[in-house]
Structure 1
Amino acid sequence: MRLLPWSVAVLVTATLVTVPAGPAAAALTRDPVTVVYTRDHALHVLNGGATDDDLAARTAKLASSAWAFFRGTSPLYYRDLGELAPSAYATGGSDVWITGDAHLENTGADRGADNVEQYQVTDTDDAWRGSWTWELRREAVAIVLAGRANGRSATAIAGDVDTLVAEYAQWIDKFHGTGDELTWRLTATNTSDLSAALIADSAGDHRSDLLARWTTVSGGTRTFASDPELQTVPAATRTSLINAVASYRTTAGEPLSAGEAVVKDVRRRLGAGTGSLGRFRWYVLIEGDTTSTSDDRILELKQQVDPAPKQLAPTATTLTGGQRPALALRWLANQSDPLAGWASVGTVPVLVKEKSPFAEDLAIADLTSSAKWDDTVRDIGRLLAAAHSRADQDLTGTGLSYSADAAIDNAITSVSGLQAETRAFATGYADQVTLDWQSYVAARNSGRPLY
């Protein structure tokens, strides 16, 4: 495929879409549609076509906007990083644990393990060991694309990227040599604007509301409700899910007793996520703390595949399956879901988490003012700094024998230089994402197979 120049106008589904001019980058020797197809087709084959309904839904979601396309194609981003010039600030040999899929909507409020509401990173499906610059750059690209989607000016977006980098560098420096990252987190006492509003919403949530959304009680027994997003499963799958929960319960950060993990009902969840659409995702209703129906819990079991950054560092860690994202969540987020663990449903490796009644995810549509943008970007910079600083020699099992915050702090020899480099990369790559999205839309409209 001939790559288009950075500034181009393309007719997409009868709408003229103009890509803003940005800094030129090295030509990428790939067809983005083929890269995405290859990954999705592999999932189609792996699951024997059983998740094709979600793969079809995924094509529609990826085609809906450049922002959604970026959210759902992290493997393409990491493939491209392998061809583009690395950051001048990349640490030489000192890799760290990264979330792997940093973007604005992979953060949100939830109730911590100690019952205190907090703002945190929420997705570790792509967690892996690699350069912190991969993550910082991905978050910066997300800020550019989300800013454009919200109609922010190029000047404002550039300022947002600079704020992200400055805040990240400042908090890496604060954590360097102190160990404060092990206990630091964002709560109602140190946030404002949208982050604080999400925390307040989380504090006002109740388990009964989540149970009312997905379940019903009849004859004193709670089961899943009839819902187009919940699909009944064959008897063999039900048995496999019951067995998976039995093996999972001792892997949780706070292990469940056999009585707490009694399975009451199971369903396959349809239509959830963007990057994970096309993977098996099951909901399992379990007993909870008591035999009362009021404290039943919903577990989410999500199929795991190789994380996107692995293609750049295939031997960085030997952790696999659901164990990798479950442990990464504990390392990267303070007071994270105590029920996170892992299992296999038959031969399908899964990450197990509670479907939290208190989760309030960030949505870019809620960033309606410059103040909200500024405060949210600052909070995300702090979250990434804390995450990268936590998962090192200070925590058992990470495989890192050194201080990640020290390595990163020593690598950032110039904050202004890192800002300029990140700003240029993010602007140029956001232009490329928009072109790639347009190619994907054209391929979908022409009937080209996408999975």
Structure 2
Amino acid sequence: MKPTVRYAAAVTAALAGVGPLVTAARAQPPLTRDPVALVYASDHALHELNAGATDDDLRTRTDLLASSAWAFFRGTSPLFYHDLGELPPSAYATGGGDVWITGDAHPENTGADRGADNVEQYAVNDTDDAWRGSWTWDLRREAVALVLAGRADGRTESQIDTDVDTLVSEYAQWIGRFHDTDDEADWRLTSGNTAHLTQSLIDKAAGDKRADLLAKWTTLNGTFKADPELRTVPASTRADLVAAVAAYRTTAAEPLSASEAKVKDVRRRLGAGTGSLGRFRWYVLVEGDTSSPSDDRILELKQEVDPAPKTLAPATTSLTGGQRPALALRWEADESDPLAGWANAGNVPVLVKEKSPFAEDLSIDDLTSSTIWDDSVRDIARLLAAAHSRADQDIPGTGVTYSADAAIDKAITSVPGLQAETLTFAKSYADQVTSDWQAYATAKNGGRPLF
């Protein structure tokens, strides 16, 4: 049985004893379920899948989830989609119900990086949960994220209301624009059409240097540094990773030659991510363009499991493993990482990406004024609209046989109505997340097993 199949089976089995769930008749949270049991189910399944080998990161994960409502929301997308399945769908989910969504929409899953054409851009940068489903799932998750991030940042409820309304109106406006022009094919956010924080992140990306990243993680002589976040691996794992890189290199949009992909050193990366904590994550140092260590590349190989939205639409695509998020990134963001690809490290399906020297992720801590909040929300909404619009009939292989932007545009029959519905959902569900986080923190402090 493949690892992803075992993981899904384990989650299903673990959820069987969770207890009573609400019916679809309930319009809003609170929900009648045990959030701690649901999070335990998915994390315990990962513990079993990896035979305890990633329990160190699972322990880190429990600390992080218990630290704040924002961190809890970021790290529990399976709980969100479980709840979506119990709650009434959006009244606007009448079209665009089978489009490629990012799956884990929130502000910190965007950032600046150097594009495939060597132009710095601000884009969606995490597709681990990408799947085919309703555009409303992404919009609702992004809206909940804005409420929780706003509360964490000290925004007033009135300011938060404006943030969510801006998200929806900007999303709808750009869906309409893409429908009318088909601009989504090559649209992106660069230094010429952004402002404030996103412009700053792009400027930082433009100033970043490969030498700085290599100096942080490597000896500059073909090996990784001794670092508490990097762990040596057994010889058998190293062999699996060498084989994985050899298999991966031709799956990238811009394939690496055998000499460029020559493996120099490998490590397991600890403590990275939030939702992905507890999955295997490896860094592999490869040769790069020349034999000089100055242009070595660090590849990141991240274990992939079934994406959270799959529970709501289990048969919309047959793409699995690392191929699904790699292709989704290629489809949802223009000029995205040209080295994104996939392989298996032994029996572990992995997404392979370059650990980019030019990446500058957005952090909600950087949202320091109402002006920055407003501009950032608009940019995030545009990215979401572009992602949903791009991956359709116009790109071979997506499996979506119609115009996604046309279907979504038709479904949005009232922007004020969609705003009101989204705001009601987002604020109510954010309250639920806060209650769930408090229950999780109480369970952790009480010594309840969490994975």
TM-score over 0.5 (shorter chain): yes
Aligned to 2:171: 168
The 1:389/1:24 distance shift into structure 2, 3 A limit, reads: closer
SS at match of 2:216: helix
- Looking at structure 2, the residues matched to 316 and 297 of structure 1 have their Cα atoms a distance apart, in angstroms, of 35
Is 1:178 aligned to 2:193, yes or no?
A: no
Q: CA deviation at 1:178?
A: 2.0
The 1:233/1:272 distance shift into structure 2, 3 A limit, reads: same
- Looking at structure 1, the residues matched to 279 and 29 of structure 2 have their Cα atoms a distance apart, in angstroms, of 33
Amino acid at match of 2:133: G
Alpha carbons 1:337, 1:354 under 8 Å: kept: yes
Percentage of identical aligned residues: 76
Aligned to 2:92: 89
SS at match of 1:222: coil
- Looking at structure 2, the residues matched to 106 and 311 of structure 1 have their Cα atoms a distance apart, in angstroms, of 21
Is 1:277 aligned to 2:280, yes or no?
A: no
Alpha carbons 1:117, 1:203 under 8 Å: kept: yes
| 1:157-209 alpha-carbon deviations (Å, 9 max, x no partner) | 00000000000000000000422101000000000000000000000000000
- Looking at structure 1, the residues matched to 29 and 389 of structure 2 have their Cα atoms a distance apart, in angstroms, of 31
**CA RMSD between the two structures:** 1.3
* TM-score normalised by L of structure 1: 0.94
Aligned to 2:365: 365
Alpha carbons 1:24, 1:428 under 8 Å: kept: no
**Total equivalences in the alignment:** 429
Alpha carbons 2:19, 2:33 under 8 Å: kept: no
| 1:117-151 alpha-carbon deviations (Å, 9 max, x no partner) | 00000100000000000000000000000000000
Is 1:447 aligned to 2:450, yes or no?
A: no
* TM-score normalised by L of structure 2: 0.94
Amino acid at match of 2:352: V
- Looking at structure 2, the residues matched to 358 and 302 of structure 1 have their Cα atoms a distance apart, in angstroms, of 19
Alpha carbons 2:93, 2:134 under 8 Å: kept: yes
Aligned to 2:419: 419
Is 1:192 aligned to 2:199, yes or no?
A: no
Q: CA deviation at 1:26?
A: 4.5
Match of 2:156 among 153, 162, 169: 153
Aligned to 1:33: 36
Q: CA deviation at 1:269?
A: 0.1
Q: CA deviation at 1:222?
A: 1.7
Alpha carbons 2:27, 2:88 under 8 Å: kept: no
- Looking at structure 2, the residues matched to 411 and 382 of structure 1 have their Cα atoms a distance apart, in angstroms, of 18
- Looking at structure 1, the residues matched to 290 and 253 of structure 2 have their Cα atoms a distance apart, in angstroms, of 19
Aligned to 2:325: 325
Amino acid at match of 1:260: E
- Looking at structure 2, the residues matched to 315 and 30 of structure 1 have their Cα atoms a distance apart, in angstroms, of 26
- Looking at structure 2, the residues matched to 290 and 91 of structure 1 have their Cα atoms a distance apart, in angstroms, of 53
Aligned to 1:139: 142
- Looking at structure 2, the residues matched to 66 and 125 of structure 1 have their Cα atoms a distance apart, in angstroms, of 21
Alpha carbons 2:167, 2:381 under 8 Å: kept: yes
**Structure 2: gaps (5+ residues):** 1-17, 21-25
Q: CA deviation at 1:242?
A: 0.2
Aligned to 2:5: none
The answer to which of 84-93 and 343-352 deviates more is: 84-93
Amino acid at match of 1:136: L
The 1:93/1:332 distance shift into structure 2, 3 A limit, reads: closer
- Looking at structure 1, the residues matched to 38 and 205 of structure 2 have their Cα atoms a distance apart, in angstroms, of 38
Amino acid at match of 1:154: E
